[in-house]
Amino acid sequence: MPLETTADAPAPLRQVSQLIEGYVGRLGAIWVEGEIAQMTRRQGISFLTLRDLQAKISISLKCHSRVLDACVAPVTEGSRVVVHAKPTFYSPNGSLSLDVREIRPVGEGELLAQLERRKQLLAAEGLFDPRLKRPLPVLPRGIALITGKQSAAERDVVENVRLRWPSAPLHVRHALMQGASSAREVIAALREADAAPGIDLIVIARGGGSVEDLLPFSDEALVRAVHAATTPVVSAIGHEPDTPLLDLVADLRASTPTDAAKRIVPDVAEELAGVEAMRERARFALHHFLQREHHGLTALRSRPVMATPTTLVDLQQNVVLEARDRARRSLGHRLDRAHDEVGHHLARVRALSPLNTLQRGYAVAQTPDGHVVTSIEQAPVGTEFVLRLADGHVSVTSTAVTPDPHPAQEAP
């Protein structure tokens, strides 16, 4: 029932707010399409502003953060979305808002969501694993360029490659870079270049465009063909912000076709400058080494031992001569002592020698058979015997035997 009011009997504001809140509360959840004009994320809850696609009308949205996180594509300002929400009226400040329960991207956002799902599935299979990336050859023997015929991308790559390395072997293969059959033609050109002998690098290049224009380069069949290729592949699709799935599976991602040309071949001028710089460094290092060695030799030659090399020999010669003299003196002393000892022994031997006794006038009587006669009993009268003197022998015969009245007594 409508509220009956007059100027004399007005309705209180709280009653009007309660009626509006009750009416809005009876509305069920609805699907609303619009564009995100503003978004503020806070802990646990987010506040958004949804703007109509044509009219200048907007309404506040609030949702839990997990609703945004559950969206298949990232929701940002400017995204076109469809929200499932329930209208609510906040009576303290009289504001109307939508309590969001689900958000779905539409248009380009829905397309991005599909690409995101495809990306996650292919990543789960390991097609984007960084460990599978192959290094590019420093100087390719053959470069296959897959691009559109007479396109700006072809001109940029060819011109920059020729400027950097004029003798680079570049083989261009044309294919459609947009449209329904684009992915199929690029796959055919890729397989042909991969099987061609002498090709050790493949570049797929295209200029910038919308998400729909670059959609063939996120085709699953093309991604798998690049993953299966045995030749390193460089992706040069679009501009810096563009990231088709081809960029993730390729061995190298170039931000633009011009950047790809700079990455696949070195700059001959820079290389020559580098060679010259290395030559100068080597020359300087060699000169510095020779100079250091020369100074070292000069310092060695200035030392006394090098000025008179025989110094050490002379010193050792003096040591040897002194040792020789000491050895001679020591040996002479030993010989002198030995000579004295021999003289003493000789004197003692001579003093004890029977010959020495004989030289003093004594004689030794011996029988013809050599026995010494020591008693008169051994030489009776008529006995022949021999007297041994100091200078010879005398044969005698005993004629008389006279005993000694004072015979010598033996020592006790």
Tell me the pLDDT band of 110, cut-offs 50, 70 and 90. low
The sheet carrying 393-397 orders its strands as: 364-366, 384-388, 393-397
pLDDT higher at 189 or 28: 189
d(CA 143, CA 199): 6
Across residues 378-393, what is the average pLDDT?
Answer: 81
The answer, yes or no, to whether residue 307 has pLDDT greater than 80, is no
**Residue 251's closest CA among 76, 127, 402?**
127
CB 204 within 8 A of CB 234: yes
Four-way CATH pick for 13-106: 2.40.30.20, 1.10.1660.10, 2.40.50.140, 3.40.1280.10? 2.40.50.140
What percent of the chain has pLDDT above 70?
Answer: 95
Q: CATH class for domain 114-128+141-266? A: alpha beta
pTM for the structure as a whole? 0.51
d(CA 260, CA 159): 12
CB 145 within 8 A of CB 171: yes
d(CA 366, CA 387): 6
**Residue 122's closest CA among 220, 269, 225?**
220
In this prediction, residue 76 carries a pLDDT of 77
Tell me the pLDDT band of 303, cut-offs 50, 70 and 90. confident
Hey, where are the domains in the chain?
13-106, 114-128+141-266, 270-329, 356-397
d(CA 213, CA 207): 10
DSSP 54-96: SSS-EEEEEEEHHHHHTSSS---TT-EEEEEEEEEEETTTTEE
d(CA 346, CA 339): 10
Across residues 55-63, what is the average pLDDT?
Answer: 88
Amino acid, single-letter form, for residue 325: D
d(CA 61, CA 86): 10
